[in-house]
Structure 1
Amino acid sequence: MVLVLSGVLQEDPPPDSHTLFQNHPIYKDTVSQLLSVPTKVVGPVGLLYVQQRELAVTVPHDKNVTILGSDDATTCIIVVLRHSGSGAVAMAHLDGCGTEDCVSTLVQRVQEAALGYPEGRLELQLVGGFSDARNYSETLFYNIMYAFHRQLVEIDLTLACVGELNTTVRNNIHWPILYGVGMNVKTGELFPATFPDKGPDQALRYARHLTGGQQVLDVYDCNLGLLRIGPFNYDPLRGVDLWLEQTDEFILQHLSTSPEVEPPHFVMQIRATLKYIQDHPFPAVTVFRDNRPHYYRRDENSGQWTPIRY
Structure 2
Amino acid sequence: MVVVLNGVLADECPTTVRGLLAAHPGYRDAAAQLLAAAPRAVPPPGLLYVLQRELAAVVPHDKNVTIIGSDDATSCIIVVVKHSGSGAVALAHLDGSGTADAAAAMVARVQQLAAGYPEGRLELQLVGGFTDPHRYSDELFANIMLSFHRLPEEIDLTLACCCELNTALGGGSPAPLVTGLGVDIRSGEVFPANFPDKGPELPLRYARTITGGPHSSQVLDTYDNGVGMLRIGPFNYDPLRGVDLWLEQSDEFILQHLSTTPAVEPPHFVHNVSNMLCF
Equivalent position SS for 1:165: helix
What is aligned with 1:70?
Answer: 70
**Paired residue for 1:124?**
124
Cα distance, 1:171 vs. partner?
A: 2.3
Alignment partner, residue 225 of structure 1? 228
Q: Which amino acid is the alignment partner of residue 272 of structure 1?
A: N
The question of 1:252 aligning with 2:255 is answered yes
Give structure 2 stretches of 5+ with no counterpart: none
Quote the RMSD (CA, aligned, Å).
0.7
Residue aligning to 1:261: 264
CA offset at residue 11 of structure 1? 1.2
Task: Look up the match of 1:15.
Answer: 15
Alignment partner of 1:173: what SS? coil
Gaps of 5+ in 1: 277-310
Identity %: 62
Q: Secondary structure at the match of 2:231?
A: strand
2-structure distance, mates of 1:144, 1:207: 24
8 Å contact kept, 2:15–2:141: no
2:145 aligned counterpart, secondary structure: helix
- Does 1:236 pair with 2:239? yes
**How much does 1:236 deviate?**
0.8
Instruction: Write out per-residue CA displacement over residues 190-245 of structure 1, whole angstroms, 9 at most, x where no aligned residue.
Output: 00000000000011101100112100000001121011011111111001111101
Match of 2:275 among 269, 272, 276: 272
1:14-53 counterparts in 2 under 5 A? Answer: 14-53=14-53
Counterpart position of 2:5: 6
Stretches of 4+ aligned residues off by more than 3 angstroms: none
Query: Which residue number corresponds to residue 151 of structure 2?
Result: 151
Partner of 2:135: 135
Asked if the contact 2:130/2:176 (under 8 Å) is kept, the reply is yes
The answer to whether the 8 A contact 1:49-1:199 is kept is: yes
Deviation at 1:170, TM superposition (A): 3.0
Which amino acid in 2 is paired with 1:274? Answer: L
What one-letter code is carried by the residue in structure 1 that aligns with 2:134?
Answer: R
Aligned to 2:192: 192
1:56 touches 1:218 (CA, 8 Å); kept in 2?
yes
| DSSP-derived class of the 2:247 partner | helix
Code of the aligned partner of 1:198: K
Q: Where does 1:81-100 land on structure 2 (aligned, <5 Å)? A: 81-100=81-100
Does the 8 Å contact 1:53/1:92 carry over to 2? yes
CA distance in 2 between counterparts of 1:85 and 1:171 reads 44
Helix, strand or coil: the match of 1:193?
Answer: strand
> Hey, what's the Cα distance between the residues in 1 that align with 2:177 and 2:102?
25
Alpha-carbon shift at residue 118 of structure 1 (Å): 4.1
SS in 1 for 2:115: coil
Number of residue pairs matched? 275
Taking the aligned partners of 1:171 and 1:66, their CA distance within structure 2 comes to: 37
Q: Quick one: distance in 2 between partners of 1:204 and 1:59?
A: 27
Amino acid of the residue matched to residue 200 of structure 1? P
Check whether the contact 1:18–1:163 (CA below 8 A) recurs between aligned residues.
no
SS in structure 2 of the partner of residue 85 of structure 1:
coil
- For the pair shown, the structure with the greater C-alpha radius of gyration is 1
* AA in 2 matched with 1:56: A
TM-score normalized by the length of structure 2: 0.97
